[in-house]
Amino acid sequence: MYSKDTIYIIGDSKTASNNPIMQQFNAFFIGLVVDRTSHLIVDADCSATISLTSSFVKQLFVGHSVLDLDTVVNEINTRYFGSSQKALIVAFKNAQIKYKQIIES
């Protein structure tokens, strides 16, 4: 399904303790499939209690460069108004840090 040039990374964060995601998973996670030659996100998913959330989050990430923090954060800030907005940003930043470590090694 994915080319051999892709890698899978996870970003994680915490959100409010009363958030259903925290109650179900104890953390907020995003999974990103990234093409390491172009740095483009080719697939994405997240720990969500509603499937529509996962589908929408996927649309926010796919097609963007994992290295383009400002663009992705702007997409989240202007389009995603779920209670996990800040957690989504932190999880992306965490995934980006991991990605940079992978490509630099």
Q: Where are the domains of the chain?
A: 6-104
Q: Kindly report the pTM of this predicted structure.
A: 0.87
Residue 70, H or E segment: helix 69-79
Q: What is the mean pLDDT of residues 4-29?
A: 75
DSSP state of 17: T
44-96 residue pLDDT tens:
999 887 899 999 999 999 999 999 999 999 999 999 998 889 989 999 999 99
Residue 58 is predicted with a pLDDT of 97
Residue 25 is predicted with a pLDDT of 55
Residue 96 is predicted with a pLDDT of 97
Q: Specify the CATH architecture of the domain 6-104.
A: Alpha-Beta Complex (3.90)
Cα distances (Å, whole numbers) of residue 64 to 4, 50, 57, 72: 19, 23, 12, 7
